[in-house]
Amino acid sequence: MIKTDAIIVGAGPTGLFTVHQLGIIGLKCEVIDNLDRAGGQCIELYPDKPIYDIPAIPECTGEELTNGLLKQIKPFKAGFHLGQRVEEIKQEDNLWILKTNKGNLFSAPNIIIAGGVGSFEPRKLVLKEAEKFEGSQIFYSVTDKNLFKNKKISIFGGGDSALDWALELSKSNEITLIHRRIEFRGAAHTLSEIKKKEKEGKIIIKTPYNLKSIDGDKTMTGIEIEHENGKLEKIKSDYILSFFGLIMKLGPIADWGLNIDKKLIPVNTENFQTNKEGIFAVGDICVYPGKLKLILSGFHEAALAARACFKRAKPNETYRFEFTTASKNIHERLGLKK
Amino acid sequence: MSQDKMLVLFYLTLIFILVPKITYISHNGNKNTVEVPVGLTVMEGALQNNIEGIDADCGGSMACATCHVYVPENWFSKLEKMQDAEQDMLDMAYEPKKNSRLSCQIIISDQLDGLEVTTPIKQT
List per-block mean pLDDT (blocks of 10 residues) for chain B, which spans 124 residues. Answer: 78 74 96 96 95 88 90 95 90 91 96 96 88
Q: Cβ of B95 under 8 Å from any chain A Cβ? A: yes
Closest CA to A253 of A29, A34, A27, A18: A34
pLDDT tens digits, A117-146: 888 888 889 899 999 999 999 999 888 888
pLDDT tens digits, A185-238: 888 999 999 999 999 999 999 999 999 999 999 999 999 999 999 999 999 999
- Verify whether the Cβ–Cβ distance A157 to B57 is below 8 Å: no
Return the domain boundaries, chain A. 2-121+247-333, 124-244
Is the previous residue joined to A208 through a cis bond, with omega within 30 degrees of 0? yes
Q: Determine the pLDDT at residue B16.
A: 62
- A245 CA: distance to closest CA in chain B (Å): 6
Q: Cβ of B48 under 8 Å from any chain A Cβ? A: no
- B51 CA: distance to closest CA in chain A (Å): 12
DSSP states of B48-73 as a string?
HTT-TT---TTSSSSSS-TTEEE--H
- Taking the C-alpha atoms of residue A29 and residue A8, their distance in angstroms, rounded to an integer, is 7
Tell me the one-letter amino acid at A252: P
ipTM, two decimals, is: 0.72
- Verify whether the Cβ–Cβ distance B64 to A284 is below 8 Å: no
Of B91, B94, B124, the CB nearest to A158: B91
Look at the pTM and tell me if it is higher than 0.90: no
pLDDT tens digits, A241-284: 999 888 888 889 999 999 998 889 999 999 999 999 999 999 99
pLDDT tens digits, A82-114: 999 999 999 999 999 999 999 999 999 999 999
**CB-based contact A54:A298 (threshold 8 Å):** no
Q: Cβ of A159 under 8 Å from any chain B Cβ? A: yes
The whole-number average pLDDT for the span A139-159 is 92
**CB-based contact A80:A100 (threshold 8 Å):** no
What mean pLDDT value characterizes chain A?
94
Instruction: Assign domain A124-244 one CATH number from 3.40.50.720, 3.50.50.60, 3.90.640.10, 3.30.420.40.
Output: 3.50.50.60
Q: Determine the pLDDT at residue A42.
A: 85
pLDDT tens digits, A274-324: 999 999 999 999 999 999 999 999 999 999 999 999 999 999 999 999 999
Q: Determine the pLDDT at residue A126.
A: 85
Q: Determine the pLDDT at residue A187.
A: 87
- Taking the C-alpha atoms of residue A94 and residue A105, their distance in angstroms, rounded to an integer, is 16
Q: Cβ of B92 under 8 Å from any chain A Cβ? A: yes
- Verify whether the Cβ–Cβ distance A228 to B98 is below 8 Å: yes
- Verify whether the Cβ–Cβ distance B94 to A245 is below 8 Å: no
Cβ density class B61-87: b for 16+ within 10 Å, e for less: ebbbbbbbbbbeeebeeebeebeeebb
Q: Taking the CB of residue B102, how many other CB atoms lie within 10 A of it? A: 27
User: A188 or A337: whose pLDDT is higher?
Assistant: A188
Contacts of A193 (CB under 8 A, 6+ apart): A167
Q: Cβ of A334 under 8 Å from any chain B Cβ? A: no
Domain B20-118 in CATH: superfamily? Answer: Beta-grasp domain (3.10.20.30)
Go through chain B and tell me how many residues it has. 124
- Verify whether the Cβ–Cβ distance B124 to A181 is below 8 Å: no
**Comparing A2-121+247-333 with A124-244, is the CATH topology the same?**
yes
Instruction: Assign domain A2-121+247-333 one CATH number from 2.160.10.10, 3.50.50.60, 3.30.565.10, 1.10.1060.10.
Output: 3.50.50.60
Tell me the one-letter amino acid at A127: L
**CB-based contact A333:A76 (threshold 8 Å):** yes
Closest CA to A263 of A72, A125, A147, A116: A116
Q: Determine the pLDDT at residue B14.
A: 62
Q: For residue A41, which residues of chain B lie inside 8 Å, CB to CB?
A: 58, 63
Residue spans of beta strands (DSSP E) within A15-64: 29-33, 50-51, 60-61
SS3 content of chain B, % helix, strand, coil (to 5): 30, 15, 50
- Taking the C-alpha atoms of residue B36 and residue B43, their distance in angstroms, rounded to an integer, is 10
